[in-house]
């Protein structure tokens, strides 16, 4: 019998701590991270701040505890920790359990945390000036309010009269799973003084929708702020520019019709900005995201830091001397850390393993990089790296989560596409299988993305614990293989991506430990689109699970939350040529449709139309093989613990019926 692991029991799996975020103190002696754990009722995850020893000598220690939870930790220059939380203010005359997210401070020498600032609309996205301690945040504010006090009055009036209406003057009106408005994000700043509440200063009093989902940074002295600024264009389009806020003025630094600018990071001396400059996609050409630097005073043009490097940089951080940028980038089924010399463009890969690194933190002496390392076979955990040594292995620190025992092993599968392109996939194999294992083909979302990291939502080890092998391929449109790999599938979703998936599935099934007669295909978002396309083009799989999927492209394009983005690729001709619903008559494979009603990226209408098209072709309703798992209050991902459990149980039951010839077992909470 295989060894029992947390993946053998959904309740045990859901109870595992989930590590995210990482921040380093200014003196380099303390790391803090956040850890999500189940609440006592097992109905939601609550996040707390933990401390990690950068030397690896001491075990991790929990710093905060409340039912509301704490997120977004950031250090002040003196080593005290700021974080956001919606927990009640203990000093208030009438503490409110539904209070907005406030800014809290945990003293450097420990003790109780206290509120240092509030805003009627809440506080998001803490950034702290390294030397001055100036605090910069984003705060939703009603358009007509001059400040937080007036904002609170206006919110109270809406609440008292039970008004939820929003008057829009432009596009878009919602994003992922929430409505945009009636409030608008504003940037506000202030300085924390001892034993005093922080007084906010409005930097962007009337931004409209320009700061929706803004990314920003502040110079060490707190005098200069660089932020993304969304500019409206004709026909409902928008483009992202970069602006500088200084001395009460806003000056556009970067902005043109051909590019989008994002993720600005100021150099240590405040003279340069590193950011991503992405070309705008067309029906025949994908975007290309380049890492550029530009003088913050606008005295020079943006310069591509590594023009010969065919990768897309993420999570960029400057070295303390400003000579290099440390970044991550998808590469061949991993996401390593790279060091890029700003003057020469030389790129050095620092990590030799198959890990996916995030949340980079550079030590003040420039010797080390701290990060969260994850992988297909490893949950996120804090590690230490040498900031300059190539091809190294990470040093695992003592984090809040012990290394997990897995119910199987990880290997790789390679193949060659019809056009000669090399294809890569990860393959999860179950432990102790008696005979060849049934295979699940999982298609990643995006569509621009990669199977290269741990996922709590789509976790293949839960399937391995039930005896399944899971194939995780990177077909055309995947990142980490150069722009040509994305270009191969651009505007041709049903062509090269589909062919690649079939090719690498065939290669995997050449293995003696996989059972070609017992297979199923699964995918979410674009992966759900591909699951639908597969259903209409082959009957080789016994079952198909399609989650948050695109079914009719001419319906999806205008109703998704960011229609202008998809419209750049999805012309009328592209939608017709790649439309899964056009092949509904060819579907003979049992399908499990899953969708959340709060999914605005792939609206619920896609699932409703797919479900009708499936049922309209069923001659005997009592014998229908199809199922529809519907979540009225979940979004694109299905995030709450018990709904996630129902998701997995329903999927496993559906696969059990059609792949393993088992009787159907409906979750007791669905009966």
DSSP 4: P
* Structure token pair of residue 484: 């040509």
Q: Which of 229, 340, 342, 360 is nearest to 295 (CA)?
A: 342
Task: Give me the pLDDT at residue 96, please.
Answer: 75
Q: How many other CB atoms are there within 10 angstroms of residue 322's CB atom? A: 15
Assign 3-state DSSP to the chain and report helix, strand, coil percentages, each to 5. Answer: 20, 35, 50
Q: How many residues does the chain have?
A: 671
- The phi and psi torsions of 564 (rounded to 5 degrees) equal -65, -35
Which is it for strands 71-75 and 61-62: parallel, antiparallel or unpaired?
unpaired
DSSP 636: S
- The phi and psi torsions of 398 (rounded to 5 degrees) equal -80, 100
Burial of 259 (0-12, 13-18, 19+ CB in 10 A): buried
Specify the 3-state DSSP secondary structure of 645: helix
Report whether 401 contacts 381 (CB < 8 A).
Answer: yes
Burial of 343 (0-12, 13-18, 19+ CB in 10 A): exposed
Cα 504 to Cα 216: distance, rounded to the nearest angstrom: 41
Structural domains in the chain?
Answer: 408-670 (3.40.50.1820)
SS3 string, 132-198, reads: CCEEEEEEEECCCCCCHHHHHHHHHHHHHCCCCCCCCCCCCCEECCEECCCCEEEEEEEECCCCCCC
The DSSP annotation for 323-349 comes to: SEEEEE--BTTBB-EEEEETTT--EEE
Which is it for strands 591-596 and 627-631: parallel, antiparallel or unpaired?
parallel
Task: Give me the pLDDT at residue 1, please.
Answer: 44
The DSSP annotation for 579-622 comes to: -GGGGGGG--S-EEEEEETT-SSS-THHHHHHHHHHHTT-S-GG
**In angstroms, how far is CA 93 from the centroid of its own chain?**
39
- Determine if the peptide bond prior to 182 is cis (ω within 30°): yes
**Which residues on adjacent β-strands are paired with residue 74?**
82
Q: Radius of gyration over alpha carbons of the chain, in Å?
A: 25
86 contacts: CB under 8 Å, gap ≥ 6:
68, 69, 99, 100, 101, 102, 122
Cα 472 to Cα 459: distance, rounded to the nearest angstrom: 11
Q: Count of alpha carbons within 13 Å of 645, Cβ hemisphere only?
A: 18
∠ CA 19-20-23, rounded to 5°: 115
Task: Give me the pLDDT at residue 2, please.
Answer: 56
107 contacts: CB under 8 Å, gap ≥ 6:
80
Q: What does pLDDT average to in each consecutive run of 10 residues of the chain (671 residues)? A: 83 96 97 96 96 96 94 97 93 78 93 92 96 97 93 96 96 95 96 84 94 97 97 94 96 96 98 98 96 97 97 97 98 98 98 98 98 98 98 97 95 97 98 92 97 97 98 98 98 98 98 98 98 98 98 96 95 97 98 98 98 97 96 96 97 98 95 91
């Amino acid at each position: 019998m295989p060894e029992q692991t947390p993946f053998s029991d959904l309740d045990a799996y859901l109870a595992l701590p989930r590590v995210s975020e990482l921040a380093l103190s200014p003196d380099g002696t303390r790391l803090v991270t956040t850890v999500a754990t189940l609440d006592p009722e097992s109905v939601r995850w609550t996040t707390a701040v933990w401390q990690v020893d950068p030397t690896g000598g001491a075990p991790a220690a929990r710093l905060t505890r409340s039912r509301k939870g704490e997120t977004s930790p950031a250090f002040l220059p003196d080593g005290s920790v700021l974080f956001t939380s919606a927990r009640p203010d203990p000093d208030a005359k009438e503490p409110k359990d539904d209070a907005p997210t406030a800014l809290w401070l945990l003293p450097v020498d420990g003790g109780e945390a206290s509120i240092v600032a509030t805003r009627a609309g809440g506080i998001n996205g803490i950034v702290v000036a390294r030397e001055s301690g100036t605090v910069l945040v984003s705060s939703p504010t009603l358009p007509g309010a001059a400040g937080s006090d007036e904002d609170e009055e206006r919110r109270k009036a809406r609440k008292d009269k039970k008004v939820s209406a929003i008057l829009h003057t432009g596009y878009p009106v919602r994003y992922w799973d929430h409505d945009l408005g009636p409030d608008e994000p504003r940037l506000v700043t202030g300085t924390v003084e001892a034993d005093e509440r922080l007084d906010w200063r409005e930097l962007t009093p009337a931004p409209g929708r320009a700061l929706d989902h803004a990314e920003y940074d502040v110079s060490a002295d707190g005098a200069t702020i660089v932020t993304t600024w969304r500019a409206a264009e004709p026909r409902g389009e928008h483009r992202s520019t970069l602006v500088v806020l200084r001395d009460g003025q806003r000056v556009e630094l970067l902005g043109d019709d051909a590019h989008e600018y994002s993720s600005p990071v100021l150099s240590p001396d405040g003279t340069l900005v590193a950011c991503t400059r992405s070309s705008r996609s067309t029906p025949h050409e994908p975007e290309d995201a380049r890492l550029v630097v530009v003088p913050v005073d606008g005295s020079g043009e943006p310069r591509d830091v590594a023009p010969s490097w065919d990768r897309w940089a993420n999570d960029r951080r400057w070295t303390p001397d400003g000579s290099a940028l440390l970044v991550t980038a998808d590469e061949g089924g991993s996401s390593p850390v790279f060091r890029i010399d700003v003057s020469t463009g030389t790129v050095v890969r620092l990590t030799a393993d198959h890990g996916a690194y995030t949340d980079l933190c550079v030590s003040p002496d420039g010797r080390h990089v701290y990060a969260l390392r994850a992988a297909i076979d490893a949950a996120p955990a804090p590690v230490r790296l040498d900031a300059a040594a190539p091809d190294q292995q990470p040093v695992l620190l003592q984090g809040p989560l012990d290394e997990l025992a897995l119910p199987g092993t990880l290997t790789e599968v390679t193949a060659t596409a019809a056009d000669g392109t090399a294809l890569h996939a990860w393959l999860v194999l179950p432990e102790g299988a008696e005979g060849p294992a049934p295979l699940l083909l999982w298609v990643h979302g995006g569509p621009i993305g990669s199977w290269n990291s741990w996922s709590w939502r789509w976790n293949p080890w839960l399937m391995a614990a039930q005896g399944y092998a899971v194939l995780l391929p990177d077909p055309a449109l995947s990142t980490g293989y150069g722009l040509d790999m994305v270009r191969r599938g651009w505007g041709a979703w049903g062509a090269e991506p589909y062919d690649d998936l079939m090719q690498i599935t065939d290669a995997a099934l050449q293995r003696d430990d996989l059972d070609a007669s017992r297979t199923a295909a699964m995918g979410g978002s674009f992966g759900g689109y591909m699951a639908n396309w597969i259903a209409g083009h082959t009957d080789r799989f016994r079952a198909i699970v399609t989650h948050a999927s695109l079914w009719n492209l001419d319906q999806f394009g205008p109703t998704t939350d960011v229609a202008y983005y998809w419209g750049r690729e999805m012309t009328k001709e592209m939608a017709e040529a790649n439309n899964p619903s056009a092949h509904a008559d060819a579907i003979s494979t049992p399908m499990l449709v899953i969708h959340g009603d709060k999914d605005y990226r792939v609206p619920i209408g896609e699932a409703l139309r797919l479900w009708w098209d499936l049922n309209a072709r069923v001659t005997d309703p009592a014998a229908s093989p199809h199922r529809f798992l519907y979540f009225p209050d979940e979004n694109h991902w299905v995030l709450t613990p018990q709904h996630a459990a129902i998701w997995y149980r329903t999927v496993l039951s559906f696969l059990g019926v059609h792949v393993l010839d088992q009787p159907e077992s409906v979750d007791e909470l669905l009966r």
